[in-house]
Amino acid sequence: MIKQNKTKLLFIDLIIAIIAIFLDQITKYIATINLAGKEDFIIIPGVLQFNYLQNTGAAFSILTNHMTLFYILTPICCALIIYLLIKMPMTKLGLIINFVLTFIFAGAIGNFIDRVVNSYVTDFIYFSLINFPVFNVADIYVTCGVILLFIILIFCVDDDKFNSFLTSIRGGNRGRD
């Protein structure tokens, strides 16, 4: 029964990831068609605008022009996420982390597709109110996913529960919490 449920969950993960990657790629395509070589498109003056940018780095343009590093690290990180999704226990905590990891995976793949196809990542969302770096939908998946993962692990899980959770990932106890 647990194995059958796990297979269903992994299938749902795959569907969510495909939809999330599609949404990321379609928004980048629309941004490229409508924004490349054009003036910024103001959504809310002084707050939010669309601003086309070709980013050869990671989030916030860190590690600019280090594509080889991304070509190596992204598949390694995605393989680790897939391993964790497969080993994730069917508990409340496991299901929440499963959901978060699926979005981190989708964001990583969305930006990896750009890097492989274009040698850059298309960014286009800009919060001018706080002069936030230009970003895209995949960046939202990764950033929000990592923040949620830290919040869950730091504030929502006590040491004993976390240790039990790690044991279950390694193949031990399959608890229900």
What are the residue numbers of the active site? 123, 139
Q: Would you give the DSSP letter of residue 131? A: T
With CA atoms as reference, report the closest residue to 141 among 78, 62, 71.
78
Q: Rounded to whole angstroms, how far apart are CA atoms 139 and 59? A: 7
- Measured over the CA atoms of residue 89, residue 93, residue 98 and residue 104, the dihedral's sign is negative
With CA atoms as reference, report the closest residue to 101 among 119, 117, 118, 89.
89
- Measured over the CA atoms of residue 140, residue 125, residue 73 and residue 9, the dihedral's sign is positive
